[in-house]
Amino acid sequence: MITVDNVTVGYGTAGFIKAVDQVSLTINDNEILGIAGESGSGKSTLMRAVYGDFSTGLRIQSGTVTGRFEDARTGKVIEAQSSQFAPLWWDQLSYIPQGSMSVLNPLMKIEAQVVDGLPAREKQGSSRALRQRIADFLAGFGLEETVLDAYPHQLSGGMRQRVLVAIAAFVNPRLILADEPTTALDVVVQKKILLMMVEIQRRQRNSLVLVSHDLGVHYQITDRLVIMYQGRIVEQGPTAEVFANPQHDYTKNLIASLPRLHGKRAVEVVGASA
């Protein structure tokens, strides 16, 4: 689906500050891929390069990010470099931003914000039928139809984040990128949203990339896990395998730092040995 080939990404027009350093990665069809790493490890930058969001001075210095979108509904196959992805946004790709107060337009009702940007194929039929489909979709997230007529400030943080997941998923794209979608939420809401994302992925059989610094999240839902450290991928493999048998020192430290039910958590400065 997406092939990241030896790519170096960074910021700056005059100088160049490397954020992702010679990374190669494949995102397969019908899988949930997790990307873990500490703040500043380059995971968000890598996501932006994959999504094709080259604003604010982000650019690829070397290497390529190639996408191949096979749409079973139309039988069309689109192949493009990520710098050419913009026309595919909210059609073949969608994205779930890191939840915060200000991701939704404060002056637009939720229904309008779901509809705004939808590809033509999802908008077919009357606006009443569309509203009904959106309402049914939101019901799957435990959100009532009244949410559609609400403004963002009338919803709680957890509701807003569910709305953001629903907006991205309702597009029914081939690839969904989620950048820390559950970071600001309590564990109960977090778990609900994660399970919902898994269920939608299984139903739509597309690819979901989940960026999070929370290893617990990755353990629960990802099929494959990529560990990033200082702009490089230090380890990748099936999630269960990475957890059972970590190869890199940094990964070992990360896993050791998770709280345990029995015994003591390993206390060591993360990254000191890497």
Partner 1 sequence: MNLLRYIAGRLVVYILVVIFALTVLFFVPRLGPTDPVEAMLAKVASQGAYMDAAQVDALRQSLADTFGLDGSLWDQYGAFIKRIVLTADFGPSLSMYPTPVMELIRNALPWTFGLLLTSTLIAWVLGNFVGLLSGWKPNSTSSRVMEGIAICLYPIPYYILALLLSILFSYIWKIFPLTTTIRGAPWSWELITSVVWNSFLPAMSIVIVVFGWWVISVKAQTTALKEEEFVRYARLKGLGDARILSRYVLPNAILPQITFLALQIGLMFNGSLITEILFDYPGLGLLIYTAVLQGDFNLLMGTISLSVIAVATATMIIDLIYPLLDPRIRHR
Binding site for partner 1 (CB under 8 A): 51, 53, 55, 86-91, 94-95, 97, 100, 102-108, 116-117, 151, 153-154
Indicate the helix (H) or strand (E) that contains 5.
strand 2-11
Closest CB to partner 1 among 103 and 135? 103
**Min CB(105)–partner 1 separation in Å:** 5
Tell me the DSSP string of 205-220: T-EEEEE-S-HHHHHH
Residue 33 DSSP class: E
Distance CA 98, CA 196 (A): 17
Q: Which lies closer to partner 1 via its Cβ, residue 51 or residue 141?
A: 51
The answer to whether 2 and 175 have CB atoms below 8 angstroms apart is yes
Which CB sits closer to partner 1, 138 or 227? Answer: 138
Q: Give the H/E segment covering residue 22.
A: strand 17-27
Residue closer to partner 1 by CB (options 76, 265) is 76
Q: How far is the CB of 54 from partner 1 (least distance, A)?
A: 11
Q: Which is nearer to partner 1, 104 or 234 (CB)?
A: 104
Q: Output the smallest distance, CB 101 to partner 1, in A.
A: 9
64 neighbors 49 (Cβ within 8 angstroms): no
In residues, how long is the chain? 274
Pairing, β 175-179 against β 93-96: parallel
How near is the Cβ of 107 to partner 1 at its closest, in Å?
5
CB of 119 to partner 1, least distance (A): 9
